Amino acid sequence: MSRLSRFLPNLVPVSHRERLRASLGAFLGLLATAALTRFALGQGPGWPLLMAPIGASAVLLFAVPASPLAQPWSILGGNCVAAIVGVTCAQWIGDAPLAAALAVSISIGLMLTLKCLHPPSGAVALTAVIGGPAITDLGYIFVAWPVAMNSLLLLVVAVAFNRMTGKDYPHRPAATAPHLAIPPHQVSLGVTIDDLEKAISERDEVIGVDPIDLSDVLQRAETLAFARRSGGVTAGSVMTRAVTTIAPGTSLRVALRLLRQKGIKALPVIDDTKRVVGILTQTDLLDKADWGPARAASGSAWRLRAIANSDRPLRGKARDVMTPLVSTVSVVMPLAMVVQLMLRTGHHHLPVVEDSGALAGMVTQTDVVTALFHANIEDLAQAG
């Protein structure tokens, strides 16, 4: 690492399109804010249409709209709180350097307390003290104009522009992207959102990222790493092709015999066109099947013994107890995506289907582990 690189931030580069989007948004936001302010109030001698700190606010609202520092309450609350503090210090403290220092420091403390931290607001407090006669003569009017008006107008433009260009603003972080979703509040490897929040709080410093957004980044990184380790393996390359299936009208007694004979835990239910219409598992038989008059008195322990030893009391057809809403995967789905789907649904067996919807095979947790084992062995062999 060179000496110069030590002074450079580790900022992940963005695409040319995103750079253009952020720059154009700031241009339109500031231009519209100035134009609307002039239209609303007119322009007189010494009347500022834009306060300088609003330029810094534009950087946050258009370049990093997902940051907690760029949300509506941050800009409106932060700028207005800082303006009130700044005007108060300017009026009550005669020494300008002391008033300026107190205005900024008190504003920071209040913004942290009120959860409206907005870095440009520090400049708002400073401007209220050292902005010159055009600012100080306004007194508390400075809070309403230009601070509140500029902030509100820029915010309106930011909401419209960011949404038009595909950005979620005001930002509402989701636990995961739809194709990466896993059990609620869990990130990966047992890490939860609460764990992330606790880890951040233990640092005892402000980190400009929402913990939920951080969890999404971690999940995406884990998926990319998984895909790299699995070497582009797909569901079709690891699935079991010789799958025992049943029809919706198959009796549960026959289904149970198949589960016992084949030593498997799930049976895809297919129609005449070989499309998957459901899946029947041991859990379905335990929890949903009619085990006859003795069921109520005997409880689940008796049913477990019955599954292992007898099927005589079992009644009904597969369609009566099967799970109809089946999660399926395509033959070309990357193995990393298959694992994420298993985590999200809690299913250990996923039917694999062709483009036509016909059953092609079944992928299980065992198939996944086996594929990863061989992939890792090959990696170790190449490394050696």
3-state secondary structure 39-108: HHHCCCCCCCCCCCHHHHHHHHHHHCCCCHHHCHHHHHHHHHHHHHHHHHHHHHCCCHHHHHHHHHHHHH
CATH topology of domain 236-383: CBS-domain (3.10.580)
Work out the average pLDDT over 343-353. 85
Q: Which of 262, 260, 254, 233 is nearest to 335 (CA)?
A: 233
Place 271 in a pLDDT band, splitting at 50, 70 and 90: very high
Residue ranges, comma separated, of all CATH 3.10.580.10 domains in the chain are: 236-383
Q: Give the whole-angstrom CA distance, residue 58 versus residue 26.
A: 5
Res 183 pLDDT > 50: no
The pLDDT value recorded for residue 180 is: 40
The pLDDT value recorded for residue 365 is: 86
- Residue predicted with more confidence, 260 or 373: 260
Provide the CB-side half-sphere exposure for 331 (13 A, CA): 13
Work out the average pLDDT over 30-37. 91
Res 82 pLDDT > 90: yes
Work out the average pLDDT over 62-73. 94
- What is the sign of the dihedral through the CA atoms of 311, 312, 313 and 315? positive
Q: Give the whole-angstrom CA distance, residue 69 versus residue 64.
A: 9
- Residue predicted with more confidence, 83 or 355: 83
Work out the average pLDDT over 240-246. 90
Asked if 189 contacts 196 with a C-beta cutoff of 8 angstroms, the reply is no
Residue 172 exposed, middle or buried by CB count within 10 Å (0-12, 13-18, 19+): exposed
Place 47 in a pLDDT band, splitting at 50, 70 and 90: low
Q: Which of 288, 347, 351, 348 is nearest to 322 (CA)?
A: 288
Most confident segment among 74-78, 141-145, 306-310? 74-78
Q: Give the whole-angstrom CA distance, residue 62 versus residue 21.
A: 8
Query: What is the 3 state secondary structure string of 137-162?
Result: CCCCHHHHHHHHHHHHHHHHHHHHHH
Percent of the chain's residues with pLDDT above 70: 79
> What length does the chain have?
384
Res 162 pLDDT > 80: yes
Average pLDDT value for the chain:
82
The pLDDT value recorded for residue 285 is: 82
How do residues 93-102 score in pLDDT, each as one tens digit? 999 999 999 9
Q: Which range (97-106, 194-203, 226-235) has the least confidence?
A: 226-235
Res 16 pLDDT > 90: yes
The pLDDT value recorded for residue 381 is: 45
Q: Give the whole-angstrom CA distance, residue 335 versus residue 226.
A: 8
Q: Give the whole-angstrom CA distance, residue 377 versus residue 372.
A: 8
Work out the average pLDDT over 277-286. 87
The pLDDT value recorded for residue 179 is: 40
- Residue predicted with more confidence, 302 or 88: 88
The pLDDT value recorded for residue 305 is: 52
